[in-house]
A = this chain, B = another copy of it.
Amino acid sequence: MVIDELKNVYLFKHLPEEKLKKLEEISKIKNYERGQVLFFEGEKPENLYILLEGKIRVYKTTFKGIEININQFGPVSLIGEYANFEKVPYPATAEFIVEGTALVINYKKFEENFLKDAEVLFSLVKSLTNKIRMLNRFIESTVVLSAEARIAKLLLESKEIFEILKHYQIASFLNITPETLSRVLSRLKKNKIIAVSGREIKILDPEKLNKISKDEMLI
C-alpha cells in the first residue's frame, strides 16, 4: 500500500490519516531500473519525487558532453523540490545507478493541498538546506580543491570505496580522469603516505594525507 510507505517518509510522518489519503490520491509508486532517468536537465518539472529505494546520481552535462557529478542520493530523499517550487527547468539530470522505487507526486496538487502546512514546510526547508549543503560540498571539492586534495579527502573519508568501485568509477565520481587518479595514487604510494595491497588501501601517514586533502601540502 502506498499509504504505508508514506508513513515512513519523514516529510509526511506527522500528517493525519485523511491527509495521507489525499496524498495517496495525488501520487503513485514507480519502479526504476538501473540507468533509468527520473528527470533530465532542462526538462519542465511536473512531479516531485521521493526516493524510497535504490540510488540516484545527479549530474550536469556540459556542451562537450562531459557529465559532471553533483551528488548521489540514497533513500529516503526528496528530489526535484527546487525546480518544482521555483517553476524552473530541472537544473540537472537524475539517474538511477542502483535500481529502486520512487514516490511520484503531482506537484500542482501537492502545492494546493500541502504547502500551507507548517510541518510540511519545515520539512521542505530541511530538504532545501540539505541541497544547499550538497551544492556547497560540490563547490568546495570541485572549485576550491585540487584533484590531489579531492582524492586525499576521499581516502580519509571512505577508503572502503576503493574496495567496492572500479578506479574509473571513482574517478568519474570525483570528476577526474582515471589517469589522474592512477597518477595521484602512485605518487601517494611512492611517498609512503598510503600502501596498496590488491584492492585494499592502508593509510600510513594520516597527518600528511590530511594536509594534502586541504591543499596545504603538495606531493
Contact = CB atoms under 8 A, between A and B. Distances in A.
A5 B136 CA distance: 32
A63 B135 contact: no
Contact of A129 (B62, B86, B115): B86
A10 B10 CA distance: 29
A9 interface: no
A62 B122 contact: no
Interface residues of A, number: 36
B133 A132 contact: no
Interface stretch (A29-37, A101-109, A137-145): A137-145
Contact of A122 (B60, B64, B115, B143): B115
A193 interface: no
Given A63-B216, A139-B70, A129 B129 contact: no
A88 B64 CA distance: 36
Count of identical protomers in the assembly: 2
A85 interface: yes
A173 interface: no
A131 interface: yes
Interface string A57-95: 000101110001010000000000010011010010000
A133 B215 contact: no
A97 interface: no
Contacts of A118: 116-118, 121
A128 interface: yes
A8 to B, nearest CB: 23
Interface of A: 60, 62-64, 68, 70, 82, 85-86, 88, 91, 115-118, 121-122, 124-125, 128-129, 131-133, 135-136, 138-140, 142-145, 214-216
7 contacts: A62-B144, A68-B143, A85-B125, A116-B118, A118-B121, A121-B121, A139-B139
